Amino acid sequence: MLVWVRAMPALSSSLMPPLRNYLPWIALALSLTLNVVMVVDQRFGEAPPPPPKVNAEKQLADEMHLTEPQLESYQFYRQQLRDMTGATRLENQDDIEAYYDEMATPNPDIQKLDTLLQQINHRRAHLQVSQTAATVKFMAVLDPKQREILLDATRRQQDKGNIRPRRIKQEQDIKR
């Protein structure tokens, strides 16, 4: 019996190399398996649902706690702003295209570019004046707390860069 116990370790070591010789291969197989699982999950896994669309106009109306007549006035006001903005974009479209066409020429005419920019900026300034008048008219139907909420929302939009006040430059500003 003693001979058999002594022969056993010799037999096992000669037939099977130690486990440490297999560890790198085992680690590589596990790594490859995990990589394949992650790639397949990323490629074919479920995409997260898109965030719900936020209707900023409705959210602001809810925040201001508008009455029914105020809500109708607010909807009319928002439509006015959209109509004014769309009309100004259409009016400016030809001049904007002419501006870029002129810039694409080998020797752009500075005077022509200046004229085009002045026309574009004049229409934008007129849009701002019209929108301001519409805003003042709408604010007349609001109470002081509602006005404050509207102005805060406008400031937040300006801080985000969605509203950029523009001014028409005077001739002396342009020539500098």
pLDDT band at 146 (very low <50, low <70, confident <90, very high): very high
Q: What is the crossing angle of helices 68-103 and 110-139, to 10°?
A: 180
Percent of the chain's residues with pLDDT above 70: 80
Average pLDDT of the residues of the chain: 82
Tell me the per-residue pLDDT of 13-68, one tens digit each, with 9 for 90 and over. Answer: 555 567 777 888 888 888 989 898 888 887 777 777 777 777 888 888 889 999 99
The structure's pTM equals: 0.58
Secondary structure, 3-state, 60-85: HHHHHCCCHHHHHHHHHHHHHHHHHH
Going by C-alpha positions, the residue among 89, 94, 87 that lies closest to residue 116 is 94
Other beta carbons less than 10 A from residue 38's beta carbon: 11
How far is the C-alpha of 61 from the C-alpha of 74, rounded, in Å?
A: 8
pLDDT band at 171 (very low <50, low <70, confident <90, very high): very low
CATH number of the structural domain 56-175: 1.20.120
Going by C-alpha positions, the residue among 56, 57, 131 that lies closest to residue 88 is 131
